[in-house]
Amino acid sequence: MALAPTVKLNDGNEIPQFGLGTWPMKDDQIADVIPQAAEQGYRLIDTAVNYGNEVGVGRGIRAAGIPREELFVTTKVPGRHHGYDATKRSLEESLERMQLDYVDLYLIHWPNPKEDKYVATWRAFVDLQKEGKVRSIGVSNFKAAHLDRLRDETGVLPSVNQIQLYPSVSQIDASAYNEQLGIAVESWSPLGRGANAKYYGGDESYLDIPLLREVAAKYGKTTGQIVLRWHVQQGLIPLPKSSNVERLTANIAVFDFSLEDSDMQRISSLDDGRAEVANSDERQEF
Ligand SMILES: NC(=O)c1ccc[n+]([C@@H]2O[C@H](COP(=O)([O-])OP(=O)(O)OC[C@H]3O[C@@H](n4cnc5c(N)ncnc54)[C@H](OP(=O)(O)O)[C@@H]3O)[C@@H](O)[C@H]2O)c1
């Protein structure tokens, strides 16, 4: 079992370039899945207050028996806890639920710009990092204008931005802007929600798209592995969720082959403007 390579963040910390998504698993399920995933080489675990599974994540971590410093645990503050004091309380509650002393990465889950509290939330993040309760700080679903405000008003840029990203939502401009600012990009729904999602309302699941099947046949890989390789080959950090041990195992086995440039481009051509893209100027989450 080989571990995924790591990526250096702008604060000097290292993050594994592959993670385990935990939504929508509930406590009992995720507590079982984490030890299985750890056995397959997963070291990054992505949870959030709003997934309602931090207790199970903590149980899974203890059951996995991996030394704490070898794991990379992420959680996220929900919209209802935005604001300086509420954010600090929220982190304490997350640590308590997971029975951890610190998290490796703390994210603002959504900017909720109409509430206009994400800058105050960010100031709490900066202090939590200084206090050692979180090792790295970042955001999720932040657009360029939201990032600019953090930089202009606090002087501190996030280390990570976790955004919706898969071949049909390739986020070329957003990725380029994050890269320009030195912010690492994590991909949520990296498999376009996988076999359970129907492709544009048809009968076919996303991972059965003929183009993906064709590329998969060429490399002797599954369509899921092709899509996940497309992420890592761009320097992105995908966070696929699976509760199935065969898919968990296959998904992370993407560091021993590469896609030709022409195939990378063919996969990117799936971004034809038809997929629904989450708009964080409008969509607020609490
Ligand atoms: N920051 C945010 O706002 C945000 C939003 C959404 C999600 N996230 C994070 O991103 C993670 C992943 O996103 P997601 O769960 O929406 O989507 P995803 O990882 O793209 O897809 C997960 C779905 O695909 C299936 N699947 C996994 N591997 C597969 C494979 N190799 N072949 C076929 N199907 C496969 C899974 O089912 P099985 O379990 O049965 O394998 C599950 O139904 C979440 O768990 C969460 O941690 C963050």
pLDDT digits (tens, 9 = 90+) for 49-62: 999 999 999 999 99
Nearest CA to ligand 1 atom 26: 194
Q: H or E segment at 136?
A: strand 134-140
Amino acid at position 251, single letter: N
- Which residue minimizes the CA distance to atom 39 of ligand 1? 242
Q: Sign (positive/negative) of CA torsion 94, 95, 98, 99?
A: negative
**Cβ-proximal residues to 221 (8 Å cutoff; 6+ apart), any chain:** 229, 257
Cα 57 to middle of ligand 1, angstroms: 16
The chain-wide mean pLDDT, for the chain, equals 96
CA nearest neighbour of 7 among 214, 285, 235: 235
State the distance from the centre of ligand 1 to the C-alpha of 37, rounded, in angstroms. Answer: 14
Cα 238 from Cα 130, distance rounded (Å)? 28
Question: By alpha-carbon position, which residue is closest to atom 22 of ligand 1?
Answer: 193
Residue 194: the pLDDT is 77
Max Cα-Cα span within the chain: 54
Mean pLDDT, rounded, for 60-76:
98
Q: How far apart are the first and last CA of the chain?
A: 39
Report how far residue 203's alpha carbon sits from residue 197's, in angstroms, rounded to the nearest whole number.
9
Residue 220 buriedness (CB in 10 A; 0-12 / 13-18 / 19+): exposed
Residue 130 C-alpha to ligand 1 middle, in angstroms? 32
Residue 2, pLDDT score: 82
CA dihedral over 205, 19, 236, 251, signed as positive or negative: negative
Using the mean position of ligand 1's atoms as its centre, give its distance from the Cα of residue 173 in Å. 23
Percent of the chain with pLDDT over 90: 93
Of 162, 156, 144, nearest in space to 119 by CA: 156
Q: Which atom of ligand 1 is nearest to the CA of 242?
A: 39
Q: Whose CA is nearest to atom 5 of ligand 1?
A: 188
Query: Which is catalytic among the residues 42, 51, 166, 206?
Result: 51
Q: Check residue 195 and give its pLDDT.
A: 65
Residue 285 has pLDDT above 90, yes or no: yes
Across residues 224-242, what is the average pLDDT? Answer: 98
The answer to whether 82 touches 113, Cβ cutoff 8 Å, is no
Ligand 1 center from residue 148 Cα (angstroms): 29
Query: Looking up tokens 């976790």, which residue turns up?
Result: 162
Ligand 1 atom with least separation from CA of 196: 43
Q: How far apart are CA 283 and CA 143, in angstroms?
A: 12
| pTM listed for this prediction | 0.98
Please answer whether residues 218 and 211 qualify as being in contact, where contact means their C-beta atoms are separated by less than 8 angstroms. Answer: no
Active site residue 199: no
Separation of CA 154 and ligand 1 centre (Å): 33
Cβ neighbours for 51, distance < 8 A, ≥ 6 positions apart: 22, 23, 24, 25
Mutation to probe ligand 1, out of 105, 166, 188 (largest number of atoms < 8 A from CB): 188
Say yes or no to pLDDT of 202 above 90: no
Which comes out higher in pLDDT, residue 132 or 194? 132
Residues flanking ligand 1, CB < 6 Å: 21-23, 46, 109, 140-141, 162, 188-196, 207, 222, 224, 239-244, 247, 250-251
